[in-house]
Amino acid sequence: MKREVAGSVRAAGILLASALLGAGCAGGGAPRIVLVRGGAGVVGGADGAAGAKDAFEARGLDPGFLESPAARDVDWSGVLHVFVDPPAAPGGPGLPPVLGSARLEGRAVRFEPRYPLEPGLRYRAVLRAGPWLGKGGADGPAVEVAFAIPPRNLEPKTVVERVYPSAGTLPENQLKLYIHFSGPMRRGQAYSMVRLIDIEASGREVEAPFLELGEELWDPSGTRFTLFFDPGRLKRGLKPREEVGPPLEAGKRYALVIDGAWLDADGASLKEPFRKELTVAAPDYDVPDPRGWRIAAPPAGTREPLAVAFPEPLDHALLHRLLRVRGPSGAALEGGVAVGAEEREWRFVPDEPWEAGRHELLVETTLEDLAGNSVERPFEVDETRGIESRIEPKVVAVPFEVPREAAGR
């Protein structure tokens, strides 16, 4: 059964009572616009369903004009337009219309959007003034009707799975955080959904601790968001740090709070909010030194993991792509990588059994610790500590020996 719900029409800036539209719905009557899907109609309804077959129809047009030869000369594609509401001004000037096509179909003008209507948005359909509105219609106002498309009724299922660094203690000059979700997230809302709370200041929110970029930093899957602390508040001597101080202060405790209202790619909110408490240690100004890493080599003839232990946590994402292993032949080995607890260990399992002999762990010098100090150079050069600028190679090779398979294996 077709169902019509009264909406509101705006003409020349005046809101007309929707009851004026309800009269004469069956053939003729006052001009009106209906949102149609699957044979059902909703006039300005707040409960219109969204879908690929949505269409807007202008009905109640003057039958005398529609049957006249003049109707055949009308470009109906320019008679009915749809805009995302609210427009910049009545009728939508300055706001591009929704893409789609309009045509005369029977005694109605039908507009079909090129793409499905977006749940949660409001749309405004505008029927241009003209002789199709009846006597004097060409000199009268346009007809406008607003439609509210309800949001998807989705059950929240996405959660924050992990936040890296995974350790509970971070240096005062921590550079960035990685937030991992269980499913793809919607972009454009990240910076309003993450807060840093000073636990020791009665839960006061830290003001502007993060760098807000024009384009959010997501991985291709949309499941990992990279959040930088404001570098201007990390580097000593810069005005933001001198005036406001660092976002994190050594010796204090904080909480990273992620709002449960953050929407996933389907438009559903997170299943639950997320909170991670942090303790802040002294700042770290030293570069990672691969020569100080402990390498535990497996025996030849096995596929046991190569284990590399670090004296400090390193950047989780970079560990997955900036370390490689080169075999005795000089070719890079294929295999799987795993990062251990608190990002203090890296493990490599080869696809083929280990060969005996000299191997090399290849470390790209852009690998960083938590404070952004890379193997190549510190995040900031502290001249008072006598750190000299130096040119490092693009890759550091750390040799290790794979022993021959032990007897009896």
- Position 261 scores a pLDDT of 96
For 125, the domain range is 9-148
Q: What 3-state class would DSSP assign to 20?
A: helix
- Position 119 scores a pLDDT of 80
Q: Mark whether 328 and 245 lie in a shared domain.
A: no
358, β-bridge pairs: 401
Local mean pLDDT, 10-residue blocks, the chain (409 residues):
35 30 46 78 46 82 93 93 69 71 94 87 92 88 90 88 97 97 95 96 94 95 97 86 89 98 92 98 96 96 97 98 97 97 97 97 97 93 46 82 73
Question: What are the DSSP calls for 343-379, one per residue?
Answer: G-EEEEEESSPPPSEEEEEEEETT-BBTTS-BSSS-S
Domain final position from 116, 148, 180: 148
Identity of residue 237: G
Q: Which residue pairs, CB below 8 angstroms and at least 24 apart, start in 239-244?
A: 244/207, 244/208
Residue 392 within any structural domain of the chain: yes
- Position 9 scores a pLDDT of 36
Q: Mark whether 13 and 128 lie in a shared domain.
A: yes
Q: Mark whether 39 and 112 lie in a shared domain.
A: yes
Residue 3 within any structural domain of the chain: no
Q: How far apart are CA 331 and CA 325, in angstroms?
A: 9
Question: What are the DSSP calls for 117-186, one per residue?
Answer: PPTT-EEEEEE--SGGG-TTGGGS--EEEEEEPPPP-------EEEEES-SSEEETT--EEEEEESS-B-
- Position 309 scores a pLDDT of 98
- Position 38 scores a pLDDT of 55
Domain final position from 281, 307, 337: 281
CB 150 within 8 A of CB 48: yes
Number of domains composing the chain: 3
Q: How far apart are CA 338 and CA 306, in angstroms?
A: 10
Q: Mark whether 139 and 205 lie in a shared domain.
A: no
Q: How far apart are CA 379 and CA 374, in angstroms?
A: 7
Q: Mark whether 99 and 178 lie in a shared domain.
A: no
Q: Mark whether 94 and 123 lie in a shared domain.
A: yes
Q: Mark whether 302 and 335 lie in a shared domain.
A: yes
Residue 16 within any structural domain of the chain: yes
**pLDDT by residue (tens digit) across 47-100?**
444 444 789 999 999 999 999 999 999 999 999 999 987 644 444 445 689 999
Residue 408 within any structural domain of the chain: no
Task: List the beta strands (DSSP E) in 12-121.
Answer: 14-16, 32-37, 40-42, 55-59, 80-85, 100-105, 108-113
- Position 244 scores a pLDDT of 85
Q: How far apart are CA 234 and CA 246, in angstroms?
A: 6
How many helices and strands in the chain, by DSSP H and E? Answer: 4, 26
Domain final position from 224, 256, 281: 281
Q: Mark whether 243 and 316 lie in a shared domain.
A: no
pTM: 0.65
